[in-house]
């Protein structure tokens, strides 16, 4: 967010109480939540232990709710045995076998698939049996690089069923990014598709996969290819096998692999301050509990709800609020292959109308894009089925919040602004839709059992209103990440670097107001939030420097009307290279090839040098001001080469 936006957020004082009808129909009452909070306060581990017993089907009960003897490596539900896919599927078959688990629409909007829980079960089991036949077993890593099709969820659930650890790589990532993730996870199997259409454009997943594998992924034994998009692809007979062949002749029953609650369910890579993405490792038992509780608390789920989370399964939101949470609680959900603006900016609203969506969860960047398209578009659709709206991914500016409330929710739907992260596994700070009075732009208060607060530099709790500090969580919670894949030291160094082994540092700064509502101010590290997706500036810099003409690069974020933040790159060329016509475009393309389109700089500025201190540090604060088009008010006396500022201003 720009400083203007932050200011407007912090001056915000409108409040909105839940509609009476919503309060009256809430599954849980204020008294229920008071009791939950009191129990969590009195016995934190016992609180989560009670919920785990009540909400999860255990094959073997656990003995201890929390083992915190080796902080920050916490263990939850010690001694238990469970299977996540059993909890998401099998336990619904007794009374919900014919209930729809998924209503899927393709990109073009001319195909709808309706999948019951029974069909979901059968497809997951067949694929799980197929994976076993390919030699995949407990603990093996499987990378999934797929479009938003039901098979992506089947693949994730099939891994969970046999105890294999999946790592989903977003289909918009480049082959280089895919290769790095495969190699870091040392994955045995890759699951992909020929490709698909997204917003009418072809995404050639298989050819990207081939490029990644041909460039060297020694751990990969086989690659499963779903023939979905009708693309012309070449199959390598030694390596590639079609999805249809994997499931051919496989039984529709597959005994789940009962695992320890700490058994890794998945790895999901996310950007950090250094160049190399981190493999965030999640557990089975604790993660599942977080997914279930937050789905129930935040989305107030009723048996007849039609729930739609618009995220891609390549991100954590698609893991927790498509693949695992909604399935574990047995709600009917929409799954969508395409994008909000295709074939036009009415696509979401048309789908809400056609499928009678009641709960709608999306990202501020999508809201801003659709808001820009004008109020006339949503007016063409009947949105009266909606009763609850949600947002996630970045701070939402009050203008976009109000538009969402008025134009989409018709002043009738609470908005849950949910703060959480890949690392937290599930929602941490969020309104309770039937209880919390909302303020546009605030994620309000922590959920029961979540000890989120704010610390100053010295590790003292910031109790004064409107004073910023580190957003921290001072007690372990079940769905927290367990480590960085293969790198316990990095886990410690990234999340527990300042206030000891029991205080998780989220990497965001935040402040509270007089009502103890949280306001997220932004990242404290070099992470840019582009359209709700985290990108490390170092990753983009490394990609730029990998280009033959580039000697040095610095990357900063700057405010963008729709994307929230966008990337500006400052580049110094190697001797012998000149700033020729089209070089900036070539560099933008180069970053896209290296990392994917999300990381493409909005602008590349080429100069003779970067502003550095005399000790050689790049002065990023200055670059940020330049990117924002602000006057430079910072002290430039330590700057070694002040003249280049004029060049960088472009």
Footprint on this chain of ligand 6R9 (rule: CB under 6 A): 270, 315-317, 392-395, 417-422, 443, 506-508, 520, 523, 529, 532, 534
Q: How far is the CB of 77 from ligand 6R9 (least distance, A)?
A: 24
Contacts of 69 (CB under 8 A, 6+ apart): none
Of 480, 463, 350, the C-alpha closest to 66 is 480
Does the annotation list 263 as a binding residue?
no
Does the annotation list 630 as a binding residue?
no
> Is residue 426 classed as helix, strand or coil in its secondary structure?
coil
Does the annotation list 198 as a binding residue?
yes
**Nearest residue (CB) to ligand 6R9, 301 versus 427:** 427
User: Residue 397, Cβ neighbours under 10 Å: how many?
Assistant: 23
Of 434, 513, 424, the C-alpha closest to 472 is 424
CA dihedral 209, 214, 215, 217 (to 10 degrees): 80
**Nearest residue (CB) to ligand 6R9, 299 versus 420:** 420
Q: How far is the CB of 438 from ligand 6R9 (least distance, A)?
A: 13
Does the annotation list 262 as a binding residue?
no
Does the annotation list 547 as a binding residue?
yes
**Nearest residue (CB) to ligand 6R9, 90 versus 394:** 394
Q: How far is the CB of 592 from ligand 6R9 (least distance, A)?
A: 20
- Which residue's C-beta sits nearest to ligand 6R9? 422
Q: Which residue has the tokens 């939540």?
A: 33
**Nearest residue (CB) to ligand 6R9, 345 versus 428:** 428
Does the annotation list 308 as a binding residue?
no
Rounded distance between C-alpha atoms, residue 98 and residue 88, angstroms = 15
Tell me the three-class secondary structure of 116-176, residue by residue. EHHHHHHHHHHHHHHHHHCCCCCCCEEEEECCCCHHHHHHHHHHHHHCCEEEECCCCECHH
Does the annotation list 394 as a binding residue?
yes
User: Residue 10, Cβ neighbours under 10 Å: how many?
Assistant: 16
Q: How far is the CB of 224 from ligand 6R9 (least distance, A)?
A: 27
**Nearest residue (CB) to ligand 6R9, 189 versus 520:** 520
Taking a C-beta distance cutoff of 8 angstroms, is the pair 476, 423 a contact?
A: no
Does the annotation list 53 as a binding residue?
no
Q: How far is the CB of 69 from ligand 6R9 (least distance, A)?
A: 28
Q: How far is the CB of 210 from ligand 6R9 (least distance, A)?
A: 28
Taking a C-beta distance cutoff of 8 angstroms, is the pair 515, 471 a contact?
A: no
Q: How far is the CB of 311 from ligand 6R9 (least distance, A)?
A: 8
**Nearest residue (CB) to ligand 6R9, 49 versus 532:** 532
Does the annotation list 508 as a binding residue?
yes
Does the annotation list 200 as a binding residue?
yes
Whole-angstrom CA distances from 65 to 35, 78, 83 are 19, 6, 17
**Nearest residue (CB) to ligand 6R9, 190 versus 443:** 443
Question: Angle between the 175-185 and 205-214 helix axes, to the nearest 10 degrees?
Answer: 60
Q: How many CA atoms lie within 13 A of 39 on its CB side?
A: 15
Does the annotation list 300 as a binding residue?
no
Taking a C-beta distance cutoff of 8 angstroms, is the pair 211, 177 a contact?
A: no
**Nearest residue (CB) to ligand 6R9, 77 versus 517:** 517
Torsions phi, psi for 133 (to 5 deg): -65, -25
Q: How far is the CB of 277 from ligand 6R9 (least distance, A)?
A: 11
Of 526, 545, 534, 528, the C-alpha closest to 620 is 526
Binding-site sequence positions: 198-201, 317, 393-395, 417-422, 508, 523, 531, 534, 545, 547, 550
Binding-site sequence positions for Mg(2+): 545, 547, 550
Binding-site sequence positions for ATP: 393-395, 417-422, 508, 523, 534
Binding-site sequence positions for CoA: 198-201, 317, 531
């Amino acid at each position: 967010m720009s400083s203007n936006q932050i200011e407007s957020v912090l001056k915000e004082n409108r409040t909105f109480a839940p509609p009476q009808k919503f309060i009256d129909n809430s599954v849980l009452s204020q008294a229920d939540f008071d009791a939950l909070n009191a129990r969590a306060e009195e016995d934190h581990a016992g609180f989560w232990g009670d919920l785990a017993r009540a909400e999860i089907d255990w094959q073997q009960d656990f003995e201890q709710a929390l083992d915190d003897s080796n902080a920050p490596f916490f263990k939850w539900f010690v001694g238990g045995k469970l299977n996540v896919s059993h909890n998401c599927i099998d336990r619904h078959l007794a009374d919900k076998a014919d209930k729809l688990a998924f209503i899927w629409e393709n990109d073009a909007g001319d195909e709808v698939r309706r999948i019951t829980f029974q069909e979901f079960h059968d497809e997951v089991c067949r694929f799980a049996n197929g994976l076993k036949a390919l030699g995949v077993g407990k603990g093996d890593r499987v990378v999934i690089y797929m479009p938003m099709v039901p098979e992506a969820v089947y693949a994730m659930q099939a891994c969970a069923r046999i105890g294999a650890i999946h790592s989903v790589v977003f289909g918009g990532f480049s082959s280089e990014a895919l290769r790095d993730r495969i190699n870091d996870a040392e994955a045995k199997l890759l699951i992909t598709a020929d490709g698909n259409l997204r917003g009418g454009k072809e995404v050639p997943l298989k050819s990207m996969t081939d490029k990644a594998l041909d460039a060297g992924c020694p751990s990969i034994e086989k690659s499963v290819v779903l023939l979905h998009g009708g693309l012309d692809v070449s199959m390598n007979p030694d390596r590639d096998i079609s999805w249809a062949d994997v499931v051919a002749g496989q039984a529709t029953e597959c005994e789940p692999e009962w695992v320890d609650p700490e058994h890794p369910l998945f790895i999901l890579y996310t950007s950090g301050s250094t160049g190399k993405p981190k493999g965030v490792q999640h557990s089975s038992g604790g993660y599942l509990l977080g997914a279930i509780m937050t789905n129930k608390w935040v989305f107030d789920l009723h048996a007849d709800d039609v729930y739609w989370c618009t995220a891609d399964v390549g991100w954590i939101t698609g893991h927790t609020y498509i693949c695992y949470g909604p399935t574990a609680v047995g709600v009917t959900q929409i799954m969508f292959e395409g994008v909000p603006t295709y074939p036009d900016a009415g696509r979401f609203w048309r789908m809400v109308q056609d499928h009678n969506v009641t709960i709608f969860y999306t990202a501020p960047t999508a809201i801003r894009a659709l808001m820009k398209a004008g109020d006339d578009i949503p007016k063409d659709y009947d949105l009266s089925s909606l009763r609850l709206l949600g947002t996630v991914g970045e701070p939402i500016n009050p203008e976009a919040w109000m538009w969402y409330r008025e134009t989409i929710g018709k002043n009738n739907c609470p908005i849950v602004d949910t703060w959480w992260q890949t690392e937290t596994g599930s929602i941490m700070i969020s309104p309770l839709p039937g209880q919390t009075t909302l303020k546009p732009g605030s994620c309000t208060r922590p959920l029961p059992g979540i000890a989120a607060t704010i610390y100053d530099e010295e590790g003292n709790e910031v109790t004064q209103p409107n004073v910023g500090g580190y957003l921290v969580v001072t007690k372990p919670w079940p769905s927290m990440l367990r480590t960085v894949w293969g790198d316990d030291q990095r886990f410690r160094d990234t999340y527990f670097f300042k206030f000891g082994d029991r205080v998780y540092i989220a990497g965001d700064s935040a402040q509270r107001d007089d009502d103890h509502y949280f306001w997220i101010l932004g990242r404290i590290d070099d992470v840019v939030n582009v359209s709700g997706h985290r990108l490390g500036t170092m990753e983009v810099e490394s990609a730029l420097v990998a280009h033959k003409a580039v000697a040095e690069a610095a990357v900063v974020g700057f405010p963008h009307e729709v994307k929230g933040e966008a990337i500006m790159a400052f580049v110094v060329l190697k001797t012998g290279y000149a700033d020729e016509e089209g070089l900036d475009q070539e560099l933008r393309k180069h970053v896209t090839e290296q990392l994917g389109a999300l990381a493409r700089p909005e602008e590349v500025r080429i100069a003779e040098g970067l502003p550095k201190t005399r000790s050689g540090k790049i002065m990023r604060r200055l670059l940020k001001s330049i990117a924002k088009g602000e006057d430079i008010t910072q002290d430039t006396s330590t700057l070694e080469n002040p003249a280049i500022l004029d060049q960088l201003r472009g």
